[in-house]
C-alpha cells in the first residue's frame, strides 16, 4: 500500500514492515503446531476464538473493555486484528463517530491519515502480501476500511524514525524482534490448556498444504488462523514489561498521549484503538491512573461456519 500523501512512500513502507509482515510470518510458522485453546471459556483477555458446532466453525472475537475513573471519565480499550470482515471495521467506524477522542495505533508520521477508501495499494512485496492474504481469506485490511482522517482521531504511536532510534539504542532489529516473538510463543504454548477432551491439532506442513485443495479451504484456513491468533496473543503480550520496543515503548507512547487528552475537560469518552497484544500493558497503565474496568463486550472479527 502506498501512502495517501504524495511524498510518503518510504514512511508508509515502514508502517507495513512493523505492522503486518512479522505477524503473518508468525502465524504461518505456528500453523503446523496448532493447539486448540479452551478460549470459549475465557471471559478475560482481549482476543479469543470461540468454537462453533460444525467442522471448521467458530468466531474470532476481539474485546472492547470500558474503564472509568473517579471523575466519571470513560476510556475504552478497543482491541483489534489487522485483517477482519469488512462489517467488523464498518461497525468500529460507526462506534468511533460517537467518541470524543480516539487514540490510534499506527507507526507513521502524524500527518499520515488513511481515510478508509483503500486507494493506492502498492505493487511491492508488502502490498502483494496484504492483497494475497486478504483475498485468500475473504477478509478486509484494517487500513483500507477504518477512517483515520476524522477530527477526533489522535495519533498515539511512535513515528518510524522514533521507533528505529529506540530499537537501535537497544540493539534490536526486525529479525531479533521476530525471534523474540517466536521464543516467547514457544514458551507460552508449553503451558497452554487444551480444549475439551484434551484435543490438540497437530498439523504437519503437508496437512496445511492439503487444506488448499479442500472445496471449503477459505473456511478451514480462517478457522485455523483464528485459533492461531487467539493462542499467540498470550505469548506476545507476555513480553510486556520486558523492554521490548514494539510493545513497551509504543504502549508508553499511547499512555503519554492519553495523559495529555485527560487534561482536556471537554473530553469525557475516549478510546484507545490498538492491536490486542498491546492491551495488557495499556490496561496496567490505566489501572495505575486510577481507572477500573466496568464492562467487556466481544466483537466478531470473522466467523466461519
pLDDT digits (tens, 9 = 90+) for 38-87: 344 445 689 999 999 988 899 999 999 999 999 999 999 999 998 999 99
pLDDT (0 to 100) of residue 234: 67
pLDDT (0 to 100) of residue 259: 96
pLDDT (mean) for 223-247: 79
In the chain, pLDDT over 70 holds for what percent of residues? 68
Instruction: Assign 305 a pLDDT band (cuts: 50, 70, 90).
Output: confident
Q: How far apart are CA 259 and CA 140, in angstroms?
A: 32
pLDDT (0 to 100) of residue 268: 94
Q: Is the distance from CB of 232 to CB of 256 less than 8 angstroms?
A: no
- DSSP 8-state symbol, 225: H
Q: How far apart are CA 203 and CA 210, in angstroms?
A: 10
- In the predicted model, is pLDDT for residue 102 greater than 50? yes
pLDDT (0 to 100) of residue 73: 96
Instruction: Assign 197 a pLDDT band (cuts: 50, 70, 90).
Output: very low
Buried b (16+ CB within 10 A) or exposed e, 56-80: bebbbbbbbbbbbeeeebbbbbbbb
Q: How far apart are CA 129 and CA 20, in angstroms?
A: 9
Q: How far apart are CA 30 and CA 134, in angstroms?
A: 19
Please state whether beta strands 101-104 and 269-275 pair in parallel, antiparallel, or not at all (unpaired): parallel
Element (H, E) at 230: helix 217-237
pLDDT (0 to 100) of residue 220: 85
Instruction: Assign 132 a pLDDT band (cuts: 50, 70, 90).
Output: confident
Identify the residue with better confidence: 279 or 243.
Answer: 279
Identify the residue with better confidence: 116 or 121.
Answer: 116
Buried b (16+ CB within 10 A) or exposed e, 248-269: bbbbebbbebbeebbeeeebee
Q: How far apart are CA 207 and CA 81, in angstroms?
A: 26
In 3D space, the residue among 50, 134, 144 whose CA is nearest the CA of residue 89 turns out to be 144
pLDDT (mean) for 89-102: 97
What mean pLDDT is reported for the chain? 79
- In the predicted model, is pLDDT for residue 192 greater than 60? no
pLDDT (0 to 100) of residue 250: 95
pLDDT (0 to 100) of residue 61: 97
Q: In this structure, what C-alpha cell is assigned to residue 82?
A: 489487522
- DSSP 8-state symbol, 153: E
pLDDT (0 to 100) of residue 117: 85
pLDDT (0 to 100) of residue 176: 73
pLDDT (0 to 100) of residue 20: 45
Amino acid at each position: 500500500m502506498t501512502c495517501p500523501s504524495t511524498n510518503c512512500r518510504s514512511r508508509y513502507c515502514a508502517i507495513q514492515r512493523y505492522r503486518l509482515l512479522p505477524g503473518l510470518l508468525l502465524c504461518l510458522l505456528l500453523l503446523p503446531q496448532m493447539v486448540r485453546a479452551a478460549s470459549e471459556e475465557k471471559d478475560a483477555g482481549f482476543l479469543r476464538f470461540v468454537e462453533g458446532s460444525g467442522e471448521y466453525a467458530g468466531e474470532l472475537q476481539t474485546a472492547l473493555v470500558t474503564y472509568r475513573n473517579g471523575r466519571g471519565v470513560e476510556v475504552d480499550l478497543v482491541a483489534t486484528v489487522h485483517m477482519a470482515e469488512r462489517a467488523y471495521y464498518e461497525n468500529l467506524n460507526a462506534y468511533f463517530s460517537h467518541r470524543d477522542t480516539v487514540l490510534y495505533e499506527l507507526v507513521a508520521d502524524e500527518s499520515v491519515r488513511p481515510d478508509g477508501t483503500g486507494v493506492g495499494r502498492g505493487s511491492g512485496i508488502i502490498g502483494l502480501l496484504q492483497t494475497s492474504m486478504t483475498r485468500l481469506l475473504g477478509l478486509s485490511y484494517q487500513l483500507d476500511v477504518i477512517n483515520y482522517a476524522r477530527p477526533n482521531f489522535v495519533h498515539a504511536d511512535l513515528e518510524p524514525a522514533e521507533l528505529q532510534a529506540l530499537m537501535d539504542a537497544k540493539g534490536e532489529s526486525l529479525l531479533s524482534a521476530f525471534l523474540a516473538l517466536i521464543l516467547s510463543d514457544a514458551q507460552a504454548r508449553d503451558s497452554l490448556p487444551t480444549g475439551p477432551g484434551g484435543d490438540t491439532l497437530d498439523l504437519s506442513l503437508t496437512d496445511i498444504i492439503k487444506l488448499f485443495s479442500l472445496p471449503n479451504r477459505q473456511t478451514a484456513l480462517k478457522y485455523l488462523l483464528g485459533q492461531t491468533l487467539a493462542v499467540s496473543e498470550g505469548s506476545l503480550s507476555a513480553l510486556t514489561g520486558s523492554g521490548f520496543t514494539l510493545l513497551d515503548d509504543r504502549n508508553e507512547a499511547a499512555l503519554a498521549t492519553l495523559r495529555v487528552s485527560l487534561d482536556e475537560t471537554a473530553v469525557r469518552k475516549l478510546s484507545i484503538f490498538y492491536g490486542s497484544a498491546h492491551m495488557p500493558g495499556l490496561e496496567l497503565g490505566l489501572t495505575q491512573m486510577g481507572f477500573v474496568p466496568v464492562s467487556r463486550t466481544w466483537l466478531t472479527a470473522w466467523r466461519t461456519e
